[in-house]
Amino acid sequence: MFQSVEIVSPTLNKVASRFRTAADFHSIFFRPTKPWPLYSDYPNFSRGDAVVLMEVLSSDFLRASIPQLFPLDLESARKFSILERFEFEGSLIHLLLRGTCTERVVASESEARETVCALLAETILQSDDSLCAFRMDDWNWSELTRRATSSGTYFAYAPFHKTWWFIGFADHY
């Protein structure tokens, strides 16, 4: 159903290493494998945002790639916010500024803004691209976040590249 996409991002590596000093951090890029039924129309959001997200969450690919997420509470996973591109950027800036329970990830708001802009440019966005991001709002949705003191998890979809990006951290301080 999905296959991994290798994306090299020095900024993502730097952010990951800063989070990993005190927390579990995961990032993976993936896209539907061909032949996906009606691949050119993937994903079909007209069926509902939750339906599309549930397809991703129930995939064997996600279970194999990030087993720490499982088991999932799919009822709690339906409690999400949909963010457009600039809301997603702002939410990532907030995530970087908040850091972990014991460690800073960035030193200032300007560093957070620069880091997020570089991160998105190096990974899934071109200058005029759009995206749809699901911010998981209920910490009970995943085993990774269920017992965390602090966490943040997102599934972002970049339609131009037909690429999903899961980024998330959980600090079990």
Is the whole model's pTM more than 0.75, yes or no? yes
Give the max Cα distance, the chain. Answer: 46
Residue 44 binned pLDDT confidence (cut-offs 50, 70, 90):
confident
Domain hosting 122: range is 2-36+47-171
Name the domain count of the chain. 1
Query: How crowded is the C-beta side of 161, counted as CA atoms within 13 Å?
Result: 23
Query: How crowded is the C-beta side of 110, counted as CA atoms within 13 Å?
Result: 0
Share of the chain above pLDDT 70, in %: 95
Give the per-residue pLDDT at 160.
84
CATH of the domain at 111: 3.40.1000.50
